[in-house]
Amino acid sequence: MPTKKTDLTALTKLGKTAKASRSLEVFPNHAPGKIEVTLHCTEFTCICPMTGQPDYADIEIFYIPDKFVVESKSMKLYLETFRSVGVFHEHLAVDIGEDFVKFVKPLAVNVTVKFHVRGGIAIDATWKWYKK
């Protein structure tokens, strides 16, 4: 099914100059519960809350959309807001996951953050949520 003009009416960031913000835009899903989507971010940065040193990570968000699909530019701008934020790796997975559920309202979502090695240790954290 092709994208309809009405699918685009709520989008304010796509195709425009937009600032990073802690919000996500969505568009209607034409196949609720019948598709799986995985978003890959390989250039994520934030800072250590204790030292202020930069941390780098790959983020994977797997979800099963219900009525809405996340618009990818808004996801990119959302992730940008963490660049100057001090956050522990494990907290990041929770923060992204809870915001994703709030804005996208999926049937299920898994957020995995895979931080690069720092101090000899790499940390992966996964947050999971399923609609009841």
Residues identified as active-site: 48, 55
CA-to-CA distance for 78 and 64, rounded, in angstroms? 20
Q: Roughly how many angstroms between the first and final C-alpha of the chain, as a whole number? A: 29
3-class SS at 72?
A: helix
3-class SS at 122?
A: coil
Single out the residue of 75, 69, 56 nearest to residue 116, CA to CA. 56
